[in-house]
Amino acid sequence: MRIATWNINSITARLPRLLAWLESSGTDVLCLQELKCAAEAFPTEQLRALGYEAAVHADGRWNGVAVVSRIGISEPVTGLPGGPDYDGLNEPRAVSATCAGVRVWSVYVPNGREVGHPHYDYKLRWLAALREAVRADAAAGRPFAVLGDFNIAPADEDVWDISAFEGATHVTAAEREALASLRGTGLSDVRPRPLKYDHPFTYWDYRQLGFPKNRGMRIDLVLGNAAFAGGVKDAYVDREERKGKGASDHAPVVVDLEV
């Protein structure tokens, strides 16, 4: 089974690339984030033509998540149980489903904006709610993983230059502690193997030649329980999909799983 996660940064803008990638990559289950479309605008028919169905949680704003599968979808849950609101809105940042016996969550963790901003506190509260929501699945015997854009670099080596992030979000102790607490439910970080570079970054800013200079971050993660992690045969970042005109600023993270 091939499972992937990809912050698509607008499924409408990236649809031709998404459809071509699904056809060429052999992906069975894809977790998508930052759809930037309303649920009724999601390309259900185009995906169905390729043999995929989807569980979608979207409202047309800057968020939106989906699980896309060609091996079936059951037990879909939209939203984060117990998740906090922000500015009175319960944002569409989580959706979960079971695909051929593997339970997956697609999550788009709040950015946090800057340390001390209300959005930073929201991010920490959201992560705490996620930890409680996945606790039972993480401890279960069936394969389970939380995949998505966590907006956190787990370690200093997961950013191109830690000194460039002094005082910034994504690398603070509180964020990393929240991520460690999530892993403490029984999840482990499935790190992609290095390909072209020693550090398998997943995101590169559009500005200042971030991608050509490999000034990236590893913030798109796959956190799996023991049953999931034990079945991983390979994991890598598809950097090729970050290249060229019209690319997302994130690359897909791909995991080959034997279950």
Q: 208: pLDDT confidence band, cut at 50, 70 and 90?
A: confident
Q: Would you say 63 is a known binding-site residue?
A: no
Cα separations in angstroms, 62 against 10, 34, 36, 122, 250? 9, 6, 5, 16, 15
Cα separations in angstroms, 19 against 7, 47, 129? 15, 7, 33
238 included as an active-site residue:
no
The full DSSP string for 142-210 is: S-EEEEEE-S--SSGGGBS-GGGGTT-TTS-HHHHHHHHHHHTTT-EE-PPPPSSSSS---EE-SGGGT
pTM to 2 decimal places: 0.97
The SS3 assignment for 20 reads helix
Res 214: pLDDT? 94
- Residue 79: Cβ within 10 Å count: 16
Specify burial of residue 15 (Cβ count, 10 A radius: 0-12, 13-18, 19+): middle
Res 195: pLDDT? 79
pLDDT at 196 over 80: no
Which is the catalytic residue, given 28, 57, 120, 149?
149
Q: Would you say 7 is a known binding-site residue?
A: yes
Which is the catalytic residue, given 28, 57, 108, 238?
108
85 included as an active-site residue:
no
Task: Decide if 144 contacts 227 (C-beta within 8 A).
Answer: yes
Q: Would you say 34 is a known binding-site residue?
A: yes
Q: Would you say 119 is a known binding-site residue?
A: no
Fold of the CATH domain 2-257:
Deoxyribonuclease I; Chain A (3.60.10)
Q: Would you say 205 is a known binding-site residue?
A: no
Specify burial of residue 225 (Cβ count, 10 A radius: 0-12, 13-18, 19+): buried
For the stretch 9-32, pLDDT in tens is: 999 999 999 999 999 999 999 999
Which is the catalytic residue, given 52, 120, 158, 250?
250
Q: Would you say 214 is a known binding-site residue?
A: no
Task: Decide if 38 contacts 69 (C-beta within 8 A).
Answer: no
CA dist., res. 70 & res. 16, Å (int): 18
199 included as an active-site residue:
no
Domain ranges of the chain: 2-257
Report the candidate in 256, 184, 220, 201 with the shortest Cα–Cα distance to residue 65: 220
CA dist., res. 223 & res. 107, Å (int): 11
Residue type, 38: A
Report the candidate in 6, 48, 64 with the shortest Cα–Cα distance to residue 56: 64
Weakest mean pLDDT among 47-61, 197-211, 236-250: 197-211
Residue type, 5: T
For the stretch 47-102, pLDDT in tens is: 999 999 999 999 988 899 999 999 999 999 999 999 999 999 999 999 999 999 99
